[in-house]
Amino acid sequence: MTTERKIIVNIATSGDGYIARPDGDIEWLSSRPAPKGFYGIPEFLRTIDTKLFGRKTFEHALRTGVTFDTKTRNIVLSRQPPPASVPAGIEFVTEAVGPFAERLRGTEGKDIWLMGGGGIIGAFLDEGQIDEFIISVIPTFIGEGIPLIAPRHRLVPLQLLSAHTFPDGVVQLHYRVQKT
């Protein structure tokens, strides 16, 4: 029996709900020492085989020297033609989010990690294409920034699956998006 692949956001936010400063800076997050177990990310990685990036998140990662794990598919969503050259293992997709997500779910594989940022999360959410959110709330306010989900009027009920507290004060909330 095959179960449908889930699309899951697994992301960290500041205590006031931002994923990055207005200029994309995530030093407030990346400079924190992580406790043993790294917030369950190694286990989570075993459940996915595809990562989806908004174009801005991809470019921020490139600028900051992040290397991409080529053991997973890495797909960047953009509405523009892809750049002339992209690092090995990166695919650009310009298809609309809804049909793209349906097509991806229809192929064999593990779950899919929607990495962010807020723009692409908003687009997937509004197409009903996010199954779960795992949100690690960092005990720091940053005052202003890029929100977890690009703002617009919404009402999206969530079912809390678990809440886990780590020794450094991070709280990880695992929600299922209720299909309406």
Ligand X SMILES: NC(=O)c1ccc[n+]([C@@H]2O[C@H](COP(=O)([O-])OP(=O)(O)OC[C@H]3O[C@@H](n4cnc5c(N)ncnc54)[C@H](OP(=O)(O)O)[C@@H]3O)[C@@H](O)[C@H]2O)c1
Return the number of the residue (81 or 167) whose C-beta is nearest ligand X: 81
Return the number of the residue (24 or 109) whose C-beta is nearest ligand X: 24
DSSP label of 84: S
Task: Determine the length of the chain.
Answer: 180
What is the residue type of 18?
Answer: Y
Return the number of the residue (109 or 119) whose C-beta is nearest ligand X: 119
Return the number of the residue (23 or 108) whose C-beta is nearest ligand X: 23
Give CB contacts under 8 A, 24+ apart, made by 35-44.
35/166, 35/167, 35/168, 35/170, 39/136, 39/166, 39/170, 39/172, 40/164, 40/172, 41/10, 44/10, 44/113, 44/134
**Three-class HEC string of 96-110:** CHHHHHHHHHCCCCC
Shortest distance, CB of residue 118 to ligand X, whole angstroms? 4
Helix (H) or strand (E) segment spanning residue 124: helix 118-126
Shortest distance, CB of residue 49 to ligand X, whole angstroms? 19
Return the number of the residue (2 or 173) whose C-beta is nearest ligand X: 173
Q: Which residue has the closest beta carbon to ligand X?
A: 117
Shortest distance, CB of residue 51 to ligand X, whole angstroms? 10
Shortest distance, CB of residue 59 to ligand X, whole angstroms? 8
Residues in touch with ligand X (CB under 6 A): 11-12, 19-20, 24, 26, 29, 54-57, 60, 77-80, 97, 115-120, 123, 146
Shortest distance, CB of residue 64 to ligand X, whole angstroms? 8
Helix (H) or strand (E) segment spanning residue 119: helix 118-126
